[in-house]
Structure 1
Amino acid sequence: MELFGKKYLTKPELQSLASVIAEAEQNTSGEIRVVLKQRRQWKERKLTLQELALKEFHFLGMQNTRDRTGVLILLLLSEHKFQIIGDEGIHKKVQEGTWQKIADSMTDDFKKGNFFDGIASAVKKVGEELAKHFPRKSDDANELPNEIIER
């Protein structure tokens, strides 16, 4: 993905991230999605990053997972910002500050220009956190696609 001539992720890296998501979901009933959004739409300009992430979350139907265990990692490339949000089932069990620790680690990788590593590491950490609180069930199915969404 490219923005203003800057290359963030190659096609093979995007495909690899989808595999990282699938692997991270192997031990949990949780669902992880990653959205790379180039820039806000005009009508989104007044939304906070949290509000924008919630809008994406609902647009993707992530609130419809069986146990409300979806986590979205939204990257807003034009603003060099990102947000990690979880559904209500997650907020009941995951400690406050968990997503911020993961975000801090992503920031460190991004500052070094390691966009793939930052996102892949965040996905793995989210998967580990989900597995602690929402282990995979015998009848678990992949409820949401693993592909990275580019807008």
Structure 2
Amino acid sequence: MAGNKWEWIGLDGLDGWWLSRRVFSKAMLERLTQKIHSSEQRHAGELVLAIEHDTPGHSRDTATRALEVFGRLKVWDTPLRTGLLLYISLNKHKFEIIADRGIQVEAAKWEEICSLLQSRFAAREYEQGLLQAIETIEEMLQNTCGSGAGPDDGQNHLPDAPVLL
């Protein structure tokens, strides 16, 4: 049987809902917010973490859905075009990273982070995996986006708190 067992029987939305309620507690979301906030102090990048418990029926492909979320959350709307979306589809067990034009990182590097998240989530190490992914993204943004000096003058243009969809 290929794919997620819940998807195969048509109950993948329940799996995602259960994960979002059971795993992503208020305390965990606050710790992730703090990690993103402190990370953004060291570069001009703007990280948005979007967690969706059930991918909508109109967009069953996670890459397409991540692009839609990137636009809807206005991750592109930063002065230096340094917005980055880390999209998690809990019911599909898929991860996507969409970076704006101001972030010059090879696609293979983003795929490595997604693979890391895949393995950490499979081991039920949700928070540890996300914190490690944020640290890795921070290193990449420091290399490509610099210190934050520029037209935005280090302002925070996008929310640091994870967005639950």
TM-score (norm 2): 0.82
- Structure 1: any 5+ residue segments left out of the alignment? none
Aligned partner letter, 2:155 = A
Specify which structure has the bigger relative contact order, considering alpha-carbon pairs within 8 angstroms and separated by 6 or more residues.
1
Q: In the TM superposition, what is the alpha-carbon distance from 1:54 to its structure 2 partner?
A: 0.7
Which of these residues, 106, 112, 120, is aligned with residue 101 of structure 1? 112
2:133 is aligned to 122
1:137 is aligned to 149
Q: In the TM superposition, what is the alpha-carbon distance from 1:108 to its structure 2 partner?
A: 2.0
Q: Report which of the two structures shows the higher radius of gyration computed on alpha carbons.
A: 2
Cα shift readout 1:58-112 (whole Å, capped 9, x = no counterpart) = 101111111111111111111111111111221xx21231101111221221121
In the alignment, the residues of structure 2 paired with residue 19 and residue 4 of structure 1 have an alpha-carbon distance, to the nearest angstrom, of: 24
In the alignment, the residues of structure 1 paired with residue 46 and residue 110 of structure 2 have an alpha-carbon distance, to the nearest angstrom, of: 15
In the alignment, the residues of structure 2 paired with residue 8 and residue 39 of structure 1 have an alpha-carbon distance, to the nearest angstrom, of: 15
1:77 is aligned to 90
Cα shift readout 1:108-132 (whole Å, capped 9, x = no counterpart) = 2112100011111111111110011
**Which 4+ stretches in 1 moved above 3 angstroms?**
2-6
CA contact (8 A) 1:24 1:128 kept: no
1:56 is aligned to 69
2:34 is aligned to 19
Instruction: Return 58-67 or 99-108, whichever deviates more.
Output: 99-108
2:124 is aligned to 113
- Structure 2: any 5+ residue segments left out of the alignment? 1-14
Instruction: Return 3-12 or 35-44, whichever deviates more.
Output: 3-12
TM-score (norm 1): 0.89
Instruction: Return 100-109 or 23-32, whichever deviates more.
Output: 100-109
SS in 2 for 1:33: strand
Q: In the TM superposition, what is the alpha-carbon distance from 1:4 to its structure 2 partner?
A: 4.9
Which of these residues, 36, 45, 48, is aligned with residue 30 of structure 1? 45
1:148 is aligned to 162
Q: In the comparison of the two structures, how many residue pairs are matched?
A: 146
